[in-house]
Structure 1
Amino acid sequence: MTPYPVEPVRATGPVRLILSTFPDLTSARRVGRAAIDSHRAACVNYLPTQASYWWKGRRVDEPEVIALFTTAPKRVGSLVEFLRGHHPNTVPEILEIDVTRAHPPYVAWVDLVTGAAAEEGRIARLSSRPAAPRGRGGSPPRRTPARRRPRSR
């Protein structure tokens, strides 16, 4: 049983972000891909950064990689427990961020990818991200023309 609640008391959003820092891109990708393959996360973004922190009595300044995992609220406990068990750091940074608003089609995609259908392998024809909206005939929607302003003399 995970010490982390699946539903934090005050979390109300439809999507959660789990932020975790890794010592390098290789370890971040290894853990990130495993989280994706096990459907604990819908996607992972990798961001290079420079970190400064205290460790064992001295200040450390070194490069790190932030991995930002997107998941459904019901998968948070499983994802956090997975990160604790597979993270290369002794004391990994694992933070949960409640996303209070999100684009509804994106939320549906996150739920689909991390849901029961995904666990059972029943997802049919799933792209990596939801498709962009299309206009008539399959072309991108046209821009709304800007209103013309009268010229000043």
Structure 2
Amino acid sequence: MIHETERTAAAYAAVLTTCGDRASAKALARALVERQLAACVQMLPIDSIYTWDGKIEEAAEILLICKIKRADYEAVEKAIRALHAYATPEIVMLPIAQGFGPYLAWIDSVTR
């Protein structure tokens, strides 16, 4: 039997992306969960400062934290790119190095 923390290093990740408003963030989050690509998507309001087209910009955004199986990353990225309003959306995968076994089992149970 694989120890719960051993399987997490390779099996799960959090994908970060941002949206410009709550409505589009909610629509994207719902689509990922309905397609069983994400077990859970958390949405947090943030203030972003970044360089775009040679200028420093500031924007209020919604940060999405999507809990996924790492094996589904390509499908998650494809879905975000298809549904996102930004020309160049943030899509960053952070591997989960360790996690609570029952929570990770839940991710397995609700994703494809």
Task: Report the TM-score when normalising by structure 1.
Answer: 0.66
Where in structure 1 do 4 or more consecutive aligned residues deviate above 4 Å? none
- Aligned partner of 1:92 in structure 2 is 89
Residue 17 of structure 2 aligns with an amino acid whose one-letter code is: S
- Aligned partner of 1:146 in structure 2 is none
Shift of 1:12: 3.3
Q: Any idea what the Cα deviations from partners look like across 1:26-85, whole Å, max 9, x if unmatched?
A: 111001101100001001000100000111121111101100000112211111111011
Residue 90 of structure 1 aligns with an amino acid whose one-letter code is: A
Matches for 1:4-153 after TM superposition, within 5 Å: 12-115=9-112
Question: Which entry has the higher C-alpha Rg, 1 or 2?
Answer: 1
Higher share of residues assigned strand: 2
Aligned length: 105
Contact 1:14–1:107 (Cα < 8 Å) also in 2 = no
- The structure with higher relative contact order (CA 8 Å, sep 6+) is 2
Contact 1:14–1:100 (Cα < 8 Å) also in 2 = no
Percent identical pairs in the alignment equals 28
Task: Report the TM-score when normalising by structure 2.
Answer: 0.89
Gaps of 5+ in 1: 1-10, 116-153
Gaps of 5+ in 2: 1-7
Alpha-carbon RMSD across the aligned residues, in angstroms, is 1.3
